[in-house]
Structure 1
Amino acid sequence: MSTDNAVPHPREVLLGAQAGAVALPVCDHYSGVEARMRKSLALQAEMAQEFGACVFDVTLDCEDGAPVGGEAEHAALVTELALSAAPGMRVGARVHPVDHAAFPADVMTIAGRAGHRLSHLMVPKVESIDDVREAALALDAVGAETLPLHVLIESPLAVHHAFEIAAHPRVQSLSFGLMDFVSSHGGAIPADGMAAAGQFTHPLVVRAKLEIASAAHAHGKVPSHCVVTEFKDIDAMRASARRAATEFGYTRMWSIHPNQIRPILEAFSPDERQIQIATKIIAAAALAAWAPVSIDGTLHDRASYRHFWQVLERAHATGRSLPSEAQPWFAPASS
């Protein structure tokens, strides 16, 4: 359990080249109206104090938040809010699509002035790798060369290109845009396909979700699940988040109302039993120098160690309390 620099960290031993893979908070909270954006940033700071870590991103929205004709003013507001966020908080911005007239100004204002403060830039309606390249070049042009891109996959064509899009080195996360995906089918998918339950049963929607998740995992990126519009129905929210996490391979999910944040955190967090089992197995593995061990009649080796280590990492990222045996692995590195 030593944290001495001479002892490899479990992350390095078990994940190897994957140790640098993207790990993001499991909840991405969107808001675009000024009052709600300010409340979202305040809630983010409050919950960071409660959990001891920034447990959700706030993405300030220009695409749906900016009034027609007021795009420049809204981009300036988003910039000021991002710059005013509490230290250590993760704040992103969703700009207009690359083919929208406001896109260049969005990037110049937001990324140009606050790129150093942003955790990511979300680009909606990405159809192909060319759209990603255009967005990356726009960021480079304003001095935001290291700002990660998150992209929204919102059409059948984009789903077809998902693996190529996920492979781009600037792309950090792929999100599924449920509402636009359904509406892009010209009525062929019924409205129920946008509902909390229907989005998990219609074959075309299910296929799109699985393709996006698979593409993201294939390239070490984060698949982010779509919205649940019935924001007052907490049971529906919990059920959708749980299915996204346990059946569809998503490791992150959108929130569009503060009431959805905690259910997402709960659904994507390991429960106490999982945490205890993972701690027991990883502690035994470390004592055995990562050689195979038998625990409770089951053989474990590096393949299963990798899974249980990721359980602990997810528990830590969602603010769950860790057993004392696991805490040294997550202690801040000493200077």
Structure 2
Amino acid sequence: MDRIHPDAVLVQDGGALPSIPGVDHYAGSEKLMRKALALQIEQARNGVATFDVTLDCEDGAAVGEEVAHTELVSSLIMSDDNRFDRIGARIHDVTHASWMTDLQNIVAAAGTRLAYLTLPKARGVSDVRRVLHVLRDAEQRNGLHRRIAVHVLIETHGALHQVWDIAGLDGVSSLDFGLMDFVSTHHGAIPGSAMQSPGQFDHAILRRAKTEIVAAALANSVVPTHNVTTELNDAAKIREDARRAREEFGFLRMWSIHPNQIGPILTAMQPDYTELVEATEVIAAAQDASWGPIQMQGRLHDRASYRYYWNLLKRAHATGCELPGSAQERFFDASFYRNS
């Protein structure tokens, strides 16, 4: 049977969301970076990383040691410990003297394997355009035949005001909410309790910010990424923060700053297994019917429901979720289509 892959049929306006893991784990010191890479290997499923690692130049580099830090970051990206090419780097913001050096040094030394660059404290769309311009120039000068994705931290008034314009820029693949810095820009109008749960989810200003970021991201086929939780040890609280981010606001990815946070966040970001069973059955039947309308258990399915279930399966795959039955082989194994 000549089977057509879902991605070739279920095209949405603006294209598909980037298929990236549901956790973005940050590490700044060499010790924590190496530990994070070891965990990434240990926790991989079916040869796929279950979380990204972001090597931090902004908060990780000591003053005066910025260049040496980019050399360390680049060496780790190019090392054998980078098994999945899912390592990114956060550079300094554009008001810092080192931001361009960060970018140019890392692209020159590790651009062939760098998964993405994260830009903090963007003041608006012009800052992001500037970074994208410098990045594209660096790619060209270093002979790279790929475009490195950019993740943008939304943590200033200007960035939130222009979040739709930022999300629409070619090359932006994630919008990340920077809760702590965003709260601190409000001159004390938002209480410190809003930097933690439940305040971070219940305060009206923060609810507005989060919903606007998610709406802008998803409308432009960009992944919305939730801020970190300050809870480091209580797995139930960590999981609950991630659950609220996912179910109440629509975030599809979340930051982690401690190994204890990775597992609970992944669990909360993964779809329910029973829904994955239904998704596999619907998409398989639709594929066998050449993507025409079908009936299943008394319900009609067409391209709209196919898109929903296919996005569900892709998110499950990206978060390392166990897939039911033949879903892995049928939808995520290229040899299945070569042999069809």
TM-score range normalised by the length of the shorter chain = over 0.9
Is 1:87 matched with 2:83?
yes
Give matches, 1:39-118, under 5 Å: 39-48=35-44, 50-84=45-79, 85-118=81-114
Conserved 8 A contact 1:154-1:178 = yes
State the shift of 1:325 in Å.
3.7
State the shift of 1:311 in Å.
1.3
CA distance in 1, matches of 2:47, 2:99: 36
Structure 1: runs of 5+ lacking an equivalent: none
Deviations 1:149-199, CA, capped at 9 Å, x for gaps: 111000222111000001110111110000000011010000111103211
| Aligned residue number for residue 232 of structure 2 | 231
Deviations 1:119-164, CA, capped at 9 Å, x for gaps: 0000100121111121112223322671111110002221110000
Deviates more, 1:32-41 or 1:69-78: 69-78
| Aligned residue number for residue 125 of structure 2 | 129
State the shift of 1:234 in Å.
1.5
| Aligned residue number for residue 12 of structure 1 | 8
Give matches, 1:169-180, under 5 Å: 169-180=170-181
| Aligned residue number for residue 251 of structure 1 | 252
CA distance in 2, matches of 1:21, 1:312: 12
Is 1:181 matched with 2:182?
yes
CA distance in 2, matches of 1:108, 1:298: 54
Runs of 4+ off more than 6 Å: none
State the shift of 1:237 in Å.
0.9
Conserved 8 A contact 1:45-1:89 = no
Give matches, 1:178-327, under 5 Å: 178-326=179-327, 327=329
Is 1:328 matched with 2:330?
yes
Distance 1:151 1:206, change over 3 A: same
State the shift of 1:324 in Å.
2.9
CA distance in 2, matches of 1:86, 1:129: 32
CA distance in 1, matches of 2:109, 2:16: 28
Q: Could you tell me which amino acid in structure 2 is paired with residue 294 of structure 1? A: Q
Conserved 8 A contact 2:4-2:290 = no
Q: Could you tell me which amino acid in structure 2 is paired with residue 191 of structure 1? A: G
CA distance in 2, matches of 1:116, 1:62: 19
State the shift of 1:271 in Å.
2.2
Alignment length, in residue pairs?
Answer: 330
Tell me the SS of whatever aligns to 1:163: helix
Tell me the SS of whatever aligns to 2:334: coil
Deviates more, 1:139-148 or 1:223-232: 139-148
Distance 1:285 1:102, change over 3 A: same
Q: Could you tell me which amino acid in structure 1 is paired with residue 86 of structure 2? A: R
User: Over aligned residues, Cα RMSD in angstroms?
Assistant: 1.8
Tell me the SS of whatever aligns to 2:11: helix
CA distance in 1, matches of 2:243, 2:68: 38
Tell me the SS of whatever aligns to 1:230: coil
Deviations 1:6-37, CA, capped at 9 Å, x for gaps: x3212222235655442211111001011001
- Alignment TM-score, normalising by the size of structure 2: 0.92
Tell me the SS of whatever aligns to 2:175: strand
Tell me the SS of whatever aligns to 1:223: strand
CA distance in 2, matches of 1:19, 1:166: 13
CA distance in 2, matches of 1:171, 1:19: 13
Deviations 1:200-221, CA, capped at 9 Å, x for gaps: 0000001000111111111111
State the shift of 1:45 in Å.
1.4
Q: Could you tell me which amino acid in structure 2 is paired with residue 228 of structure 1? A: T
State the shift of 1:88 in Å.
2.3
Report 1 or 2 for greater relative contact order, CA contacts < 8 Å, sequence distance ≥ 6. Answer: 2
Q: Could you tell me which amino acid in structure 2 is paired with residue 109 of structure 1? A: N
State the shift of 1:80 in Å.
1.3
Structure 2: runs of 5+ lacking an equivalent: none
Deviates more, 1:118-127 or 1:279-288: 279-288
Deviations 1:50-77, CA, capped at 9 Å, x for gaps: 4431111100001111112222221221
Q: Could you tell me which amino acid in structure 1 is paired with residue 74 of structure 2? A: T
| Aligned residue number for residue 115 of structure 2 | 119
State the shift of 1:314 in Å.
1.5
Q: Could you tell me which amino acid in structure 2 is paired with residue 204 of structure 1? A: I
Deviates more, 1:303-312 or 1:162-171: 303-312
| Aligned residue number for residue 163 of structure 1 | 164
Aligned identity (percent) is 48
